[in-house]
């Protein structure tokens, strides 16, 4: 299993805590930081230089798509994954245009997030099969 440092950005502290436990159950993976909004996500990405950044779309001060654009420009070595509980039409395309490797619906995280992170860690596309586009 590859070694990865992951930054989680989501406005729900309880969700971040659960996601941290889930991701750190994978050998070699560590969550190097957490952020509750888009601006903090950008600052932590700059400071921590994670391998992977998992960004929720709906966050205060700066949403996940906007944060992904900034992180992609300022920390190009970080691979980005966008997650959301909302099924916005075109979200997968918007995530990709922002520099993300993929989008994962929160209702499918337990099945799709680990494979998506593995793919992103190998610099491959990581879109879930149910990715809303168009």
Q: Is the pTM of this model over 0.85?
A: yes
Which DSSP helix (H) or strand (E) runs through 61?
none
pLDDT in tens, 74-114: 999 999 999 988 766 677 888 889 999 988 989 899 999 99
pLDDT for the residue 84: 87
Domains defined along the chain, listed by start: 28-82+95-128 (3.40.50.2300)
Bridge partners (DSSP) of residue 56 are 83
The answer, yes or no, to whether residue 133 has pLDDT greater than 70, is no
Long-range contacts of 86-91 (CB under 8 A, 24+ apart): 86/57, 86/58, 87/132, 88/57, 88/132, 89/132, 89/133, 89/134, 90/132, 90/133, 90/134, 91/57, 91/131, 91/132, 91/133
Q: Minimum mean pLDDT among 13-17, 38-42, 48-52, 82-86: which range? A: 82-86
């Amino acid at each position: 299993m590859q070694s990865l440092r992951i930054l989680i950005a989501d406005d729900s502290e309880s969700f971040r805590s659960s996601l941290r436990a889930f991701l750190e159950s994978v050998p070699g993976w560590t969550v190097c930081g957490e952020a509750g909004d888009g601006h903090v996500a950008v600052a932590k990405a700059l400071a921590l230089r994670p391998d992977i950044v998992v960004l929720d779309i709906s966050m205060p001060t700066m949403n996940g798509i906007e944060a992904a654009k900034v992180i992609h420009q300022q920390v190009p070595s970080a691979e980005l994954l966008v997650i959301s509980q909302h099924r916005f039409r075109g979200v997968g395309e918007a995530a990709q245009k922002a520099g993300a490797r993929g989008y994962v619906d929160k209702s499918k995280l337990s099945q799709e997030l680990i494979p998506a992170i593995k793919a992103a860690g190998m610099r491959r596309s990581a879109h879930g099969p149910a990715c809303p586009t168009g």
